[in-house]
Amino acid sequence: MAGQTLGRRGAAYSLQSVNSLPNLPAPRDDQAFVTGGAYALLFLLGVMEGLVGCFQFSREVGSFPLAAILLAVAIGVTCVLGAAGMGSSAGALLPALGWFAVSIVLSLPSPGGSVIISNTAPGEWYLYGGSLCAAVGVIVAFLWRARTGPPRTSVSRRSSFSS
């Protein structure tokens, strides 16, 4: 009678259905570690560009804010090349985020009232021009990514490194 009751409720529990082997560790993907490190370095590159730019933007040739414009173009080029090198739009977004974070923090006044990025023509060229160039770099990366299709998978990346 007990067997009939179990038959109505479902299959009886059996020790044969228990996996007695220890759980094997998940396969390690070294490529993911390298890719994550590359993205972190791109973010740090944006941080360094912002840090250097905040202190060097005011260099002028005559009254022309040459350094501010070159630094703005540099972050845009970094975004485009980061996306091309990584094969994804995140390669453009991370340097831009690093640059924005440092530039915004260093443009805020200190408790004593002093500022690092002053309200001058070079300061405005650096902040607005850099923001525009970073945004253009990210947009170009997104448009390029939309035109070329989805990023490569880790399987195709591994096969390209092995040959």
CA dist 18 and 30 (Å) reads: 32
- b (16+ CB within 10 A) / e for 116-149: bbeeeebbebbbebbbebbebbbebbeeebeeee
Greatest mean pLDDT among 18-32, 115-129, 142-156 lies in 115-129
How buried is residue 19: exposed, middle or buried, by Cβ count under 10 Å (0-12/13-18/19+)?
Answer: exposed
Residues 134-158: what's their mean pLDDT? 77
Categorize the per-residue pLDDT at 65 as very low, low, confident or very high, splitting at 50, 70 and 90.
very high
Residues 29-54: what's their mean pLDDT? 91
pLDDT over 90 (residue 131): yes
- pLDDT the model gives residue 110: 84
Mean pLDDT score of the chain: 82
